[in-house]
């Protein structure tokens, strides 16, 4: 009974913003099909090309990554994730710096988003195939398989996962906002931009709601279908794989592609940062507003983490009682515009704590499922048998959580906290759309950018990254009990 | 594991303390010694005039000022109209003439007497008659280019020259003040049919239509484009701050529209008296000087700019300032939206 | 699967043997409660366990991969189960000391489960199952994860141990060697049927 209530509660948690908007607009939904079709075509074109480029890059360059020894491999796998974790505004500025003149429109959007997601696919896919590559390598070498044959063997086993990743990127592109907003140059708007325009330029909220619901239904059901046909067995980040000697099936070209990718991103960022630091106004950045934003970001992180863990424990309760949580997949990708807009109408409270809590609620509606999938889902699947065993031996739910499950999730909690930190520090979209008065470092950075104070934006981004790195070190210390290095097999 | 639980406990303790003690002074009841001001990021940001004005005002009056950043005045007004008496916000800045036209009826506004006699440019004579919206700066809208740009551009029609194809950054009139000002510029100097044709041709010429001034200006500074729609005073910023004289504003023979920024106090204000004081303060000579030097716009009070780099800026021929009616604005925007509908 | 009736002998090892795909694992999962089915019963004594949820069936299980909690030591793995089954009396603790010696677990008692050898994991898993005071002990291919040398030794140890306890045991296996050594009562399965 309790499990059913929690299941219902979770569904309400995620659909409440939409329900609130529908209620607020008295159920009025309007649709302009020609606009929707035009935006959908742009979304599909952008999504297709971004996922194709990212998958091709990720597939081939995985073999280069896996040909490296353990330490450089793990380091590269982590660095490659950075463009997808850091705010997309960075990538836009970097792209503008590298490519001049920059092609605005669909091409520009595809370039920037492919840049963001290629490293993401590379990191995940290389980890997923590591064990099989290692297992098949002796066979390939002994029987003289050429590169194409070896790749085919890997694709037969992992092709579905690759398609799954491609579809995730496709859907992420569909719901992208910042990049199309800035880089499309006013052309090539996608569905998310269309929603934004309906809401904030034309004030046609019912039209925005109509588009948003269509988008959500299409994406939600697609993800649900995807999740039925795929069991995400890719290893979570941080799990060790042994060194592979894969030079025969790798290539210098792949290596150059990876290095070009990383160097262009990090190199450009450092270049822009140095330019920013040399600006004569840079001392103006260090003011009360910045320090307030730092503390606000910290509190925002606390409330985000708290809400996340409450939902997570509810989820664990459902899993404990063998209830299906497949329904969560429907909420993997939500429209930031609409969900945050709910908060706009909700309004600000006089109590600061409540305002943080409201923001954190919206944050978790938008990001809980993807954070869960990214950092926790695989490990939880791996220890399903332990859960069954615990039930067989009458171990209580709380005992299972604190004595069995949580001690094995050190690595996963570490990565979760690092994601939560950077997302809390850099969050600005929800705050801007909802009209909240809370200012994070991301809000400050966005303000600098909106006034074309690029130097200020870069310095704030550097502070953001610095704080993030410090916080990751702190989590590491806390979770490892004051020692460096986690339990390797957790 | 104990450490993790300790961490979790620490989080909850922090949240509890935060809940109990974190109070930024925004109490439920209005305090006559505090004031909430909505402004754009360029005004209230650390590089803008906001912080200095805040310090000065607080020193002079003892009233504490809290800035709230607003993405768009329309959103703020919508929020106020929704929240009604519970709305927070005593002053709204960064309103332009189009905001006034479109939003003046959405909520009620307080009347404000100007404390100073303003010496205003003749073409802007109409603005001092507004009793609910008080101007605090202005600038002509103009295209900015680099001094080494050899293309002769001195009218709107010159923007259609083939050599400028893909080299002009414009702001979207639906989301940007300068963009909307440009749209009205076109419709005021051309007939309706010519204006529509001109815009259609221009859209084909553009590099991009950006959602905001900063995005468009960013493209220009990054040398993605050769021309950007901005303010005639923009080159002064580069001269004064960057010691860079490579930018110039282009004078068009049709004359230029003016962008005027206003401040107002909504009727739902909690601290109305302080709000009115703040608005009046913005028109004082000291505040005008600060606004001019930080916003890089002309002051409303002309005397303030004497002896400054702003005095050396050539006075472009200006179109007469007027508050257009919202039906006209809506019509222009519809034309624009229709022209852009199938452009991607 | 179709099993009209299947009876087991008490206080001895009942072996269910069959090739892959014969339905042994399905039967095993049904008995534990990991799978649900309609119209079947599973009596232990006078109680039909088929109607009970997993946690109420009071079974002791050794999985093929042993499923020890990797971050806990051998001792902690066992004591945790003792507590959860409310069997942590002084007698039980004394019993553990005896069994520990019998199963050669002294040396690895304080070692984390993830660092135990295959044979040690298997014996810890067995001891854990036994100390949970189950109605029925279920062993699912308990030797398949071991190499041949360890398998022989483990069989001997487990055979002696289970014989001493006289606990009703079900051993699922595909290996006929297990049948030879343990087969007090043997049931052959093929394609979901009893042969």
490 residues of chain A, pLDDT tens digit each: 888 899 999 999 999 988 888 887 776 666 677 788 888 888 889 999 999 999 999 999 999 999 888 888 888 888 888 888 777 877 887 888 888 778 888 899 999 999 999 998 998 899 888 888 887 877 777 677 788 888 888 888 888 888 888 888 888 888 888 888 878 877 778 888 888 888 777 777 778 888 888 888 878 877 777 666 544 443 333 333 334 457 778 888 999 999 999 999 989 888 888 888 887 777 778 887 889 899 999 999 999 999 999 999 999 999 998 777 888 888 888 888 888 888 877 766 667 788 899 999 999 999 999 889 878 888 888 888 888 889 888 898 998 999 899 999 988 898 899 889 988 998 888 888 887 878 899 888 888 877 667 778 888 888 888 898 899 888 888 887 654 444 443 3
**One domain, residues A351 and A260:** no
Smallest CA-to-CA distance from B110 within B80, B138, B82 is with: B80
Is position B1 within any domain? no
3-state secondary structure of A306: helix
Cβ separation C84–A385 shorter than 8 A? no
Is position A2 within any domain? no
Is position A1 within any domain? no
* CATH number of the domain residue B288 falls in: 3.40.190.10
- Shortest distance between the Cα of A118 and any Cα of chain B, in A, equals 25
Task: Return the residue of A nearest to B216 by Cα.
Answer: A185
**One domain, residues A406 and A318:** yes
Is position A13 within any domain? no
Q: Do C114 and C106 contact (CB within 8 A), yes or no?
A: no
Write the pLDDT tens digit of every residue in B51-93. Answer: 999 999 999 999 999 888 776 676 677 677 766 655 668 999 9
**One domain, residues A307 and A263:** no
Q: What are the pLDDT tens digits along chain B (344 aa)? A: 555 566 666 666 766 666 655 444 444 434 567 898 988 888 888 788 999 999 999 999 999 998 887 766 766 776 777 666 556 689 999 899 988 888 777 788 999 887 766 666 676 777 767 889 999 999 999 999 999 988 999 999 999 999 999 999 999 998 888 999 999 999 999 999 999 999 999 999 999 888 888 888 888 987 889 999 999 999 998 988 888 899 999 999 999 999 999 999 998 888 899 999 999 999 999 999 999 999 999 998 888 888 888 887 888 899 988 888 888 998 999 899 888 875 54
In this structure, which topology does domain C13-194 adopt according to CATH? Rossmann fold (3.40.50)
Q: Please check whether residue B14 touches A, CB under 8 A.
A: yes
User: Into how many domains does chain A fold?
Assistant: 2
Task: Give me the pLDDT at residue B31, please.
Answer: 53
d(CA A352, CA A461): 25
Contacts of A404 in chain C (CB under 8 A): 69, 72, 80
* Total residues found in chain A within this entry: 490
Contacts of A281 in chain B (CB under 8 A): 47, 241
Crossing angle for the helix pair A288-320 and A410-426, nearest 10 degrees? 140
Q: What pLDDT band is residue C65 in, cutting at 50, 70 and 90? A: confident
**One domain, residues A181 and A259:** yes
Task: Return the residue of A nearest to B1 by Cα.
Answer: A407
Cβ separation A197–B221 shorter than 8 A? no
Task: Give me the pLDDT at residue A226, please.
Answer: 67
d(CA A258, CA C26): 47
**One domain, residues B252 and B267:** no
Is position B334 within any domain? yes
Neighbours of chain C (3+ CB pairs under 8 A): A
Mean of per-residue pLDDT scores for chain B: 85
Q: Do A475 and A481 contact (CB within 8 A), yes or no?
A: no
Cβ separation C71–A389 shorter than 8 A? no
Q: Do A343 and A358 contact (CB within 8 A), yes or no?
A: yes
The residue segments making up the domain with residue B166 are 140-257+320-340
Task: Return the residue of A nearest to C113 by Cα.
Answer: A489
Task: Return the residue of A nearest to B43 by Cα.
Answer: A451
**One domain, residues B217 and B146:** yes
Q: Please check whether residue C153 touches A, CB under 8 A.
A: no
Smallest CA-to-CA distance from C161 within C109, C98, C117 is with: C98
Higher pLDDT, C102 or A51: A51
Task: Give me the pLDDT at residue A240, please.
Answer: 32
Cα Rg of chain A, angstroms: 23
Task: Return the residue of B nearest to A483 by Cα.
Answer: B3
Return the minimum-mean-pLDDT range out of A277-281, A420-424, C145-149, C185-189. Answer: A277-281
Neighbours of A139 (CB within 10 A): 11
- In three state form, how does the secondary structure of chain B look? CHHHHHHHHHHHHHHHHHHHHCCCCCCCCCCCCEEEEEECHHHHCCCCCHHHHHHHHHHHHCCEEEEEECCCHHHHHHHHHHHHHHCCCCEEEEECHHHHHHHCCCCCECCCCCCCCCCCCHHHHHHHHCCCCEEEEEEEEEEEEECCCCCCCCCHHHHHCHHHCCCEEEECCCCCHHHHHHHHHHHHHCCHHHHHHHHHHHHHHEEEEECCHHHHHHHHHCCCCCEEEEECCHHHHHHHHHCCCCEEEECCCCCECEEEEEEECECCCCCHHHHHHHHHHHCCHHHHHHHHHHHCCEECCHHHHCCCHHHHCCCCCECCCCCCCHHHHHHHHHHHHHHHCCCC
> In terms of DSSP bridges, do strands C136-140 and C169-173 run parallel, antiparallel, or are they unpaired?
parallel
d(CA B205, CA B162): 8
Best probe of the A interface among C65, C69, C80, C141, by most A CBs < 10 A, is C69
- In three state form, how does the secondary structure of A136-158 look? HHHHHHHCCCCHHHHHHHHHHHH
- What's the angle, vertex CA B177, arms to CA B174 and CA B181, rounded to 5? 95
Task: Give me the pLDDT at residue A13, please.
Answer: 94
**One domain, residues A178 and A294:** no
Task: Return the residue of B nearest to A401 by Cα.
Answer: B1
d(CA A169, CA A121): 8
Contacts of B51 in chain A (CB under 8 A): 287
Q: Please check whether residue B174 touches A, CB under 8 A.
A: yes
Q: Do A482 and B3 contact (CB within 8 A), yes or no?
A: yes
> In terms of DSSP bridges, do strands B91-95 and B258-264 run parallel, antiparallel, or are they unpaired?
antiparallel
d(CA C23, CA C13): 19
Is position A223 within any domain? yes
Best probe of the C interface among A392, A403, A480, by most C CBs < 10 A, is A392
Q: Do A275 and A85 contact (CB within 8 A), yes or no?
A: no
Task: Return the residue of B nearest to A303 by Cα.
Answer: B15
Task: Return the residue of A nearest to C71 by Cα.
Answer: A408
**One domain, residues A175 and A294:** no
**One domain, residues B197 and B187:** yes
- Shortest distance between the Cα of C153 and any Cα of chain A, in A, equals 26
Across the interface, which of C61, C69, C132 has its CB nearest the CB of A386? C69
Alpha helices in chain C (DSSP H): 24-32, 74-84, 90-102, 118-131, 148-165, 176-182
**One domain, residues A369 and A245:** no
Contacts of A402 in chain C (CB under 8 A): none
Across the interface, which of B174, B209, B224 has its CB nearest the CB of A201? B174
Contacts of A408 in chain C (CB under 8 A): 69-71
**One domain, residues B110 and B147:** no
Cβ separation C84–A395 shorter than 8 A? yes
Q: Taking residues C33-52, report their average pLDDT.
A: 81
3-state secondary structure of A424: helix
**One domain, residues A287 and A173:** no
The residue segments making up the domain with residue A68 are 31-274
- Shortest distance between the Cα of B145 and any Cα of chain A, in A, equals 16
**One domain, residues A138 and A248:** yes
Across the interface, which of B23, B174, B211 has its CB nearest the CB of A352? B23
Distance between alpha carbon A386 and the CA centroid of its chain, in Å?
A: 29
d(CA B36, CA B278): 10
Cβ separation C71–A407 shorter than 8 A? yes
Q: Please check whether residue B47 touches A, CB under 8 A.
A: yes
Q: Mark which of A258, A274, A290 sits at the end of a domain.
A: A274
> Which positions ≥6 away from A317 have C-beta within 8 Å?
A2, A3, A6, A397
Contacts of B2 in chain A (CB under 8 A): 481
**One domain, residues A55 and A181:** yes
Residue C73: DSSP 8-state:
B
Cβ separation C70–A408 shorter than 8 A? yes
Is position A339 within any domain? no
Contacts of A385 in chain C (CB under 8 A): 63, 65, 67
Cβ separation B75–A197 shorter than 8 A? no
Could you tell me if the ipTM is greater than 0.85? no
Is position B3 within any domain? no
Is position A99 within any domain? yes
Q: Do A193 and A177 contact (CB within 8 A), yes or no?
A: yes
**One domain, residues B233 and B245:** yes
d(CA B325, CA B104): 11
**One domain, residues A194 and A314:** no
Cβ separation A489–C55 shorter than 8 A? no
Q: Mark which of A274, A293, A318 sits at the end of a domain.
A: A274
**One domain, residues B96 and B244:** no
Cβ separation A385–C65 shorter than 8 A? yes
Task: Give me the pLDDT at residue B27, please.
Answer: 45
B17 to A353, A437, B128, B268: CA distances (angstroms): 10, 21, 50, 33
Task: Give me the pLDDT at residue A334, please.
Answer: 83
Task: Give me the pLDDT at residue B28, please.
Answer: 40
- Shortest distance between the Cα of A66 and any Cα of chain C, in A, equals 26
d(CA A364, CA A413): 16
> In terms of DSSP bridges, do strands B168-171 and B206-210 run parallel, antiparallel, or are they unpaired?
parallel
Cβ separation A452–B217 shorter than 8 A? yes
User: Into how many domains does chain B fold?
Assistant: 2
Across the interface, which of C54, C80, C85 has its CB nearest the CB of A403? C80
**One domain, residues B219 and B325:** yes
Across the interface, which of A97, A309, A447 has its CB nearest the CB of B41? A447
d(CA B166, CA B206): 5
Neighbours of chain A (3+ CB pairs under 8 A): B, C
Alpha helices in A321-401 (DSSP H): 336-346, 352-375, 377-382, 384-392, 397-399
d(CA A238, CA C51): 42
Contacting C with CB below 8 Å, chain A residues are 385-386, 388-396, 399, 403-404, 407-408, 487, 489-490
Q: Please check whether residue C133 touches A, CB under 8 A.
A: no
Cβ separation C84–A399 shorter than 8 A? yes
**One domain, residues A221 and A93:** yes
Task: Return the residue of B nearest to A435 by Cα.
Answer: B70
> Which positions ≥6 away from B328 have C-beta within 8 Å?
B187
């Amino acid at each position: 009974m309790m499990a059913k209530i929690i299941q219902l509660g979770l569904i309400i948690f995620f659909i409440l913003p939409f329900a609130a908007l529908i209620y607020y607009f008295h159920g009025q939904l309007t649709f302009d099909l020609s606009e929707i079709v035009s935006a959908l075509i742009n979304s599909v074109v952008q999504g297709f090309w971004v996922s194709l480029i990212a998958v091709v890059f990720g597939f081939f360059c995985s073999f280069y990554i896996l040909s490296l020894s353990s330490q450089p491999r793990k380091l590269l796998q982590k660095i490659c994730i950075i463009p997808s974790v850091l705010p997309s505004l960075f990538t836009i500025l970097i792209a503008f710096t590298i490519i001049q003149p920059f092609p605005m429109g669909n091409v520009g959007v595809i370039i920037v988003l492919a840049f963001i997601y290629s490293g993401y696919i590379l990191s995940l896919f290389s980890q997923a195939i590591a064990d099989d590559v290692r297992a098949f390598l002796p066979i390939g070498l002994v029987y003289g398989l050429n590169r194409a044959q070896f790749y085919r063997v890997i694709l037969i086993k992992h092709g579905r996962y690759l398609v799954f990743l491609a579809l995730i990127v496709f859907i992420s592109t569909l719901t992208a906002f910042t990049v199309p907003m800035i880089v499309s140059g006013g052309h090539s708007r996608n569905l998310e931009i269309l929603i934004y325009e309906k809401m904030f330029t034309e004030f046609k909220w019912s039209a925005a709601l109509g588009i948003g619901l269509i988008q959500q239904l299409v994406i939600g059901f697609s993800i649900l279908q995807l999740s039925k046909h795929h069991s995400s067995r890719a290893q979570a980040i941080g799990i060790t794989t042994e060194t592979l000697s894969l030079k025969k099936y790798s290539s210098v070209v792949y290596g150059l592609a990876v290095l070009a990718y990383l160097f262009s991103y990090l190199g450009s960022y450092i270049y822009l940062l140095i330019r920013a630091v040399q600006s004569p106004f840079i001392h103006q950045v260090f003011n009360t507003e910045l320090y307030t934003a730092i503390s606000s970001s910290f509190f925002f992180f606390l409330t985000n983490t708290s809400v996340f863990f409450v939902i997570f424990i509810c989820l664990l309760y459902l899993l404990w009682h063998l209830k299906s949580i497949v329904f969560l997949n429907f909420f993997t990708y939500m429209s930031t515009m609409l969900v945050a807009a709910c908060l706009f109408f909700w309004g600000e409270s006089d109590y600061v704590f409540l305002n943080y809590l409201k923001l954190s609620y919206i944050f978790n509606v938008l990001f809980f499922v993807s954070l869960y999938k990214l950092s926790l889902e695989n490990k939880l699947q791996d220890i399903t048998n332990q859960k069954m065993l615990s039930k067989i031996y009458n171990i209580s739910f709380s005992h299972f959580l604190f004595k069995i499950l949580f001690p094995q999730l050190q690595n996963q909690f570490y990565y979760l906290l690092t994601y939560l930190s950077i997302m809390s520090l850099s969050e600005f979209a929800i705050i801007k759309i909802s009209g909240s008065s809370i200012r994070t470092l991301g809000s400050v950075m966005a303000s600098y950018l909106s006034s074309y104070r690029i130097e200020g934006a870069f310095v704030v981004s550097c502070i953001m990254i610095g704080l993030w790195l410090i916080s990751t070190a702190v989590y590491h210390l806390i979770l490892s009990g004051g020692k460096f290095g986690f339990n390797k097999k957790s | 594991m104990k450490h993790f639980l300790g961490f979790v406990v620490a989080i909850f303790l922090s949240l509890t303390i935060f809940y109990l003690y974190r109070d930024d002074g925004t109490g439920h009841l209005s305090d006559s010694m505090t004031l909430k001001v909505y402004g754009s990021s360029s005004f209230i940001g650390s590089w803008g005039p906001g912080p200095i004005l805040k310090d000065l005002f607080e020193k002079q009056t003892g009233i504490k000022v809290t800035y709230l950043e607003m993405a768009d005045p329309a959103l703020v007004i919508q929020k106020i109209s929704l929240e009604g008496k519970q709305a927070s916000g005593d002053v709204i800045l960064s309103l332009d003439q189009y905001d006034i036209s479109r939003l003046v009826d959405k909520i009620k506004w307080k009347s404000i007497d100007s404390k100073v006699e303003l010496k205003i440019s003749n073409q802007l004579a109409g603005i001092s008659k507004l009793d609910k919206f008080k101007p605090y700066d202005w600038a002509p809208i103009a295209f900015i280019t680099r001094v080494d740009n050899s293309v002769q551009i001195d009218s709107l029609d010159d923007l259609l020259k083939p050599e400028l194809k893909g080299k002009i950054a414009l702001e979207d009139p639906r989301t940007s003040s300068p963009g909307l000002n440009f749209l009205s510029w076109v419709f005021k100097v051309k007939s309706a049919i010519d204006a529509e044709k001109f815009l259609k041709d221009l859209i084909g010429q553009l590099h991009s239509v950006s959602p905001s001034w900063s995005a468009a200006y960013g493209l220009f500074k990054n040398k993605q484009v050769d021309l950007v729609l901005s303010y005639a005073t923009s080159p002064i910023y580069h001269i004064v701050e960057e010691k860079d004289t490579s930018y110039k504003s282009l004078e068009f023979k049709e004359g230029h529209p003016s962008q005027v920024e206003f401040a107002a106090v909504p009727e739902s204000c909690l601290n109305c008296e302080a709000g009115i004081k703040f608005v009046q303060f913005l028109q004082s000579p000291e505040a005008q000087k600060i606004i001019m030097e930080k916003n890089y716009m002309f002051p409303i009070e002309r005397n303030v700019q004497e002896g400054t780099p702003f005095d050396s800026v050539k006075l472009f021929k200006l179109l007469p300032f007027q508050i257009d009616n919202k039906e006209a604005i809506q019509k222009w925007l519809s034309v624009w939206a229709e022209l852009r509908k199938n452009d991607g | 699967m179709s099993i009209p009736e299947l009876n087991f002998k008490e206080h001895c090892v009942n072996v269910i043997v069959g090739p892959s795909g014969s339905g042994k694992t399905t039967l095993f999962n049904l008995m534990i409660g990991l799978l649900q089915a309609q119209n079947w019963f599973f009596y232990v004594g006078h109680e039909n366990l088929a109607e009970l949820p997993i946690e109420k069936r009071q079974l002791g299980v050794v999985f093929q991969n042993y499923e020890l909690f990797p971050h806990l030591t051998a001792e902690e793995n066992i004591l945790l189960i003792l507590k959860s089954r409310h069997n942590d009396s002084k007698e039980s603790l004394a019993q553990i000391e005896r069994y520990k010696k019998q199963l050669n677990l002294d040396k690895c008692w304080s070692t984390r489960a993830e660092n135990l050898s295959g044979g040690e994991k298997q014996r810890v898993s067995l001891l854990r199952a036994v100390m949970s005071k189950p109605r029925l002990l279920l062993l699912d291919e308990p030797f398949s994860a071991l190499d041949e040398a360890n398998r022989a030794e483990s069989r001997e140890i487990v055979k002696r141990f289970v014989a001493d306890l006289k606990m009703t045991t079900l051993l699922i296996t595909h290996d006929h060697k297990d049948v030879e050594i343990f087969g007090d009562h043997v049931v052959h399965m093929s394609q979901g049927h009893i042969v």
